[in-house]
Amino acid sequence: KLLLGSICVAFIALRWSAPSFNKESLKGARVLVTGASTGIGEQLAYHYARLGAQLVITARRENVLKQVVSKCLEMGAQRALFIPADMASASDAESVVQYAIEQLGGLDYLVLNHIGPSPYRMWDGDVEHTRWLLEVNFLSYAQMTQKALPTLEKSNGSIVVVSSLLGKICGPFALPYAATKFALNGFFGGLQHELAMQKSNVSITICTLGLIDTDSAMEKIKGYINMTAYPAQEAAWNIIEAGASRQSETFYPWYTFYACLFRDWFPYFRDQAIQNSYTYNPQVDK
C-alpha cells in the first residue's frame, strides 16, 4: 500500500510540478505562429496578442489571416503581420521565417502548429498523400527550425512544436497524420538532446494534445468516436505557458499524460481499449 501510495504521489507531483510563467515576459516578445488562420493556431495568436506580443502569423488563406491580424491588433498586440504561405513548399517555409526575422528584428518564439488536411478513414494505400503530408506537417517544421535557429540562439529563444497523442500512441483512421506526428516527436526529441549537449540557449517544447474542439477535428471524428473534446482556447493557453516556461514537454488535456505514462504497461488491454472506442462496421464503412 505504501509503495502504491508513493507511486500515486509521484505521478501527481510529476503532472503538477510545471514551472510557473511570467506573463510580462511575453510583452513585446517576437513570435511567429504557423497555421494561425483557424483552430488552435488562431487561439494562440489571440492569447499572444492579449499578452502584448509582436506577431507574425501564417497559413495559406490571405483573407482569413487578414481578419485574424486585425483582431490581434484590437486585442493588444504590439504588432501583428501576416504572410500567406504553403508549407508544402520548402521555399515558402524558409521565406516565412526570413520575413518574420526581418519584420520583427529577430525572433523569440517559433510556434510550429500547422497541419495539412488529411482524410480520417481506413488507409486507402495512397502513398503520395503520405509523402505530401510529411512535407507539410514535418519537413517544413525542420526547414523552419534550421532557418530560425541562429536567430533564436542570439535571443535565448524557444521553439514550440504542436504535436499529438497520435504521435505517441498508435490509433486507426489517421495513419499518414500519425506518421508525421511520430516523425516530429523523434526529430524534435532528438534535437532537444543535441541542443542540450551543445549548451545551446534555445529551448524546445513538444506539446502532446488530445482531442480539441476545433472545427476541422470535430468534422473528422464525427461518426467514428464519441469522446470529450477540450477547448481550443485552453489548449492554446497551455501551449503558450509551457513554451514561455521552457518546459521540454507539455500534455493537454490531463489524460494524455497518463496515457503516455501507462502506454506500454498492458499492451493487450491498451489495444482492445483503442479498437473498441471507435465505431466501425467493416460491412458498411470503408
Which three cell numbers mark 116?
Answer: 495539412
Please tell me whether residue 64 binds ligand NDP under the rule CB under 6 A: yes
Please say if 177 is a catalytic residue.
Answer: yes
24: amino acid identity, one letter: E
Which three cell numbers mark 15?
Answer: 503532472
Under 8 Å between Cβ of 246 and 72:
no
Please tell me whether residue 205 binds ligand NDP under the rule CB under 6 A: no
Please state, in angstroms and rounded to a whole number, the distance separating the CA atoms of residues 13 and 152. 31
Nearer to ligand NDP, 8 or 181 (CB): 181
Nearer to ligand NDP, 104 or 166 (CB): 166
Please tell me whether residue 168 binds ligand NDP under the rule CB under 6 A: no
Q: Within 10 A of 14 (CB to CB), how many other CB atoms are there?
A: 11
Which three cell numbers mark 40?
Answer: 488552435
**Active-site annotation holder among 48, 141, 177, 230:** 177
By CB under 6 A, name the one of 164, 192, 203, 205 that touches ligand NDP: 164
Please tell me whether residue 49 binds ligand NDP under the rule CB under 6 A: no
By CB under 6 A, name the one of 56, 107, 115, 160 that touches ligand NDP: 115
Q: Which residues contact 179 (CB under 8 A, 6 or more apart)?
A: 130, 133, 134
Please state, in angstroms and rounded to a whole number, the distance separating the CA atoms of residues 60 and 87. 8
Residues between 221 and 260 with contacts to ligand NDP, criterion CB under 6 A: none
List interacting residues with ligand NDP (CB under 6 A): 35-41, 59-61, 64, 85-88, 113-116, 136, 162, 164, 209, 211-212, 214, 216-217
Catalytic machinery residues: 177
